[in-house]
Amino acid sequence: MDLKETWKDVDAYFNDELKVSDEVTNSILKKNEEAGLPPIEVAATHGKMLFLLAKMSGAGSILEIGTHGGYSTVWLARALPKDGLMATLEVSDQHADIAEDNIRNAGFEDQVTVIRGPALESLPKLLERGYPRFDFIFIDANKDGYPEYLEEALNVSTTGTVIVADNVVRQGRVIDPDSGEKSVPHIRKFIDMLSENDEIETTVIQTVGRKGYDGFLLGRVK
């Protein structure tokens, strides 16, 4: 049996049985694909996981670094209470345009703001723009930025802030500094920074499924 096919089939099984996907989330994937965005959204099962983590943590404010077409954005926004708010940072105007459409169609335009421009320019201005320290932060942007995104994320965190980062395993290449994959040195630096930081408790969950083999970093600020 081809293990990768099994991962996909099992992902589809749980997606169907647990009714993970719905019309709104499926329509976002379709729209992103039609617009030619790279198909690098989180799997539906993992979008639902992000929703559950944010909901379980009781997050009233969510920050996303890397909007893409707004797929994970909408999953996370669904976890917000009525008076909750979310900021999502996106460098590409094309991606931001599509994401804003998807966010509007999902009914979250009053709670979610797409902030355009390089995240490293937006992040230091969030508090002065009136945002509170965030309860939940999802990092899923250019991997060479992860170390600096972590630093900036910690600057807008407080005790209890949950930090989740996508793509920290990269088909296992994370343990091979010479893998040739460009993201690996940056991910390893990101992990080193966490290793040396006593102010955040962390673990990693490796994932398989329709998006292959990767993993999420999970952390909580002490």
Q: How far is CA 163 from CA 95, 98, 118, 151, in A?
A: 23, 25, 20, 12
- Shortest Cβ distance from residue 140 to Mg ion (Å)? 4
- Shortest Cβ distance from residue 82 to Mg ion (Å)? 29
Which residues inside 123-162 make contact with ligand DHB, applying CB under 6 A? 140
Q: How far is CA 142 from CA 24, 67, 186, 207, in A?
A: 26, 11, 10, 19
- 40 or 193: CB nearest ligand DHB: 40
73 Cβ partners below 8 Å, 6+ apart? 64, 67, 86, 88, 99, 102, 103, 108, 112
| Among residues 71, 136, 166, 191, the one that binds ligand DHB under rule CB under 6 A | 166
Residue 167, interface with Mg ion (CB under 5 A)?
yes
CA torsion 188→172→56→158, rounded to 10°?
Answer: 0
Residue 140, interface with Mg ion (CB under 5 A)?
yes
15 Cβ partners below 8 Å, 6+ apart? 21, 44, 45
Residue 10, interface with ligand DHB (CB under 6 A)?
no
| Among residues 167, 174, 187, 207, the one that binds ligand DHB under rule CB under 6 A | 167
| Among residues 102, 166, 168, 221, the one that binds Mg ion under rule CB under 5 A | 166
- 40 or 120: CB nearest ligand DHB: 40
Residues contributing to the site for ligand DHB (CB under 6 A): 40, 140, 166-167
